[in-house]
Amino acid sequence: MSIDTEISEIFLKIANSLDILEDNPFKIRAYRNAARNISELTEDIKTIAERDDLTKIPGIGKDLADKVKEYITSGKLNYYEDLKKEIPEELVDLLAIQGLGPKMLSKLFKEYHVTNLEELETALNGEDILKIHGMGKKKIEDLRRGIVIFKESKQRVNLGIALPLAEEIIREINRIHGTEGTIYAGSLRRMKETVGDIDILTIADNGKQVIEEFTKMSSVKDVLASGDTKGSIISRNGIQVDLRVVGPGSYGAALQYFTGSQAHNVKIRTIGVKKGLKINEYGLFRGDKTIAGETEKDVYYKLGLPLIPPEIREDRGEIEAAIEGKLPNLVESNDIKGDLHVHTNWSDGTSSIEDMARKAKKLGYEYIAITDHSPSSRIANGLSIERLYEKREELESVRKKVRGIQILMGSEVDILSDGTLDYPDSVLKDLDVVIASVHIGFKMERAKMTRRIMKALTNPFVNFLAHPTGRLIGERDPYEVDLDDIFETAKKYGKAVEVNSHYLRLDLKDINVKRAIDKGTDIVISTDSHHPDHLHQMKLGVATARRGWAEKKNIINTKRFKGLSNWLNGFSS
């Protein structure tokens, strides 16, 4: 975990602690904003501190700058240490439970002395809990469900957290003399939305030395095991990482074996048995003779199969498709020509239109849509109609300054409870891109929610539906909705549905991407970025789409700008 991340997390914990203590809301907001802005820095905070430029970070005044310096110098923050004496850390962690806000948690802490998860569960089982204002039987059931999600999230790590850590560790391993071909395997290589741990393979002759150096890396918190060919550590952010050192002759077999999934590998072994072959992490064997193992491609080829992409190795029909020569030609990150869902400091983003456009251009995109929130999203500083047209003036100015990329004027427009949209059609028709999305009323009954979204999709100016189920991984369940009806409506009216690449969303999830494709519904992969660096999360959305068997032809924003323009204009022509 970088020091930027450490400071950001501490500031967020301070904000949450103060929230439970019902402290000054402006102070709480200051810490929360500072946490977010530090987490989004593109430059190391130590370097900024050395230049004495901390107060140039948005939301960082002298007091917070001094606290950052204190942590950089000493590795701790006295204010936070004192705060922990008033509010236990385990209590603050409970704010991650869906449905448990700071006011309710404060009551549970002060009136029922709840300080951790076990005490919360005990309190929820008691009769006295119903005496708390706002705590009814339905609320208790909701909290119990939230606890289940909370526990599950503690056991697995989000893809957006695991992947950067794995990439950082691989860079460190690559600096160890004699290593080559270092790669992550397991569920991370299959790009599952959460992973239990991180598996890494590398080729080397001096396995024991490599493992010793691995266990001494800067990212290591604890060492679980250190052998001749395998080492296990707990990283500084609590994730288990296993490194296996293999020889070049068995590298491909080990990569196939440790990538999984288990169900996929069982079927692969069954195919091998029928051919008189044995397969394990050391190679593919006929009797005692090794017939493949150096590359994954050879292993699959000798089994009579083409190489199957890791993302779809889940025993969901991929082996049968491979046998029949019908594997999908999965979409690639370099197929993406632009991002159609991006926020700026006009609403709840942190950067300007120009900053977002320049970053998109640097990534090689042909276009970017600036889609700030509509007025009902008050918490996100949604734009009134007047502000929306003021934003258009700035966007026009940026278009003249930033050449070589098409900058589209758009909005993420709330779908209101009755299915109407947050701007009138007279405004929507003036926008290049209109995204419809649900941000309130998540507990609406399934049929009503389905009708609500379907109605929005019939609006002639809507282009696509954002984060179609509203879920937040490990934090919030999806709302109840009939996705098949949504997909069919989208197809009927020429709309698309989004794969939102934000690591907490990945919505649509993989199995729902496959459902949408099977229905013939178009897909947009976008990032929902609020900062230029968030644009890099596109790879997570692409990976999710690949897990759903998506091809380039299924994805709207693989079109060149002319094709995209024709698709967008088709709604109003």
Position 153 scores a pLDDT of 62
What does the alpha-carbon distance between residue 78 and residue 346 come to, in Å, rounded to a whole number?
36
Shared domain for 302 and 357, answered yes or no, is no
Rounded to 5 degrees, what are φ and ψ at 220?
A: -90, 130
Domain boundary among 206, 226, 246: 246
Tell me, yes or no, whether 277 and 381 share the same domain.
no
Q: Which domain holds residue 416?
A: 333-569
Domain shared by 365 and 507, yes or no: yes
162 and 146 both lie in a single domain: no
Count of domains observed in the chain: 4
Measured CA to CA, the distance from residue 227 to residue 209 in angstroms comes to 9
138 and 163 within one domain: no
Q: Is residue 299 domain-shared with residue 208, that is, in the same domain? A: no
What the block records as the tokens of 117 is 């998860």
Cα–Cα distance, 133 to 104 (Å, whole number): 9
Whether 290 and 401 map to the same domain: the answer is no
CATH of the domain at 31: 1.10.150.110
- Residue 161: name the closest of 473, 379, 386 by CA: 473
Secondary structure class of 415 (helix, strand, coil): strand
pLDDT for the residue 2: 64
The residue out of 120, 155, 190 marking a domain boundary is: 155
Whether residues 114 and 187 fall in one domain: no
Q: Is residue 520 part of a domain?
A: yes
Residue stretches of the chain with pLDDT short of 70: 1-2, 42, 152-154, 571-573
Cβ neighbourhood burial of 138 (10 Å; 0-12, 13-18, 19+): exposed
Report d(CA 327, CA 549) in Å as an integer.
9
CATH number of the domain to which 402 belongs:
3.20.20.140
- Give domain status of residue 511, yes or no: yes
Distances (CA, A) of 172 to 155, 210, 214: 26, 11, 8
Same structural domain for residues 264 and 398?
Answer: no
Q: Do 318 and 378 belong to one domain?
A: no
- pLDDT tens sequence across 39-51: 777 677 888 888 8
Residue from 289, 168, 178, 185 nearest 236 by CA: 168
Residue 254 CB partners (closer than 8 Å, separation 6+): 185, 201, 244, 246, 281, 282
Give the domain CATH number at 174: 3.30.460.10
Q: Is 409 in the same domain as 525? A: yes
Indicate if 222 and 289 belong to the same structural domain.
Answer: no
Does the residue 235 lie in any domain?
Answer: yes
553 vs 329, 335, 358, CA distance in Å?
Answer: 10, 10, 27
Q: What share of the chain is helix, strand, coil (3-state, %, to 5)?
A: 50, 15, 35
Task: Indicate whether 380 belongs to any domain.
Answer: yes
**Domain for residue 328, yes or no?**
no
Task: Give me 223's structure tokens.
Answer: 């060492």
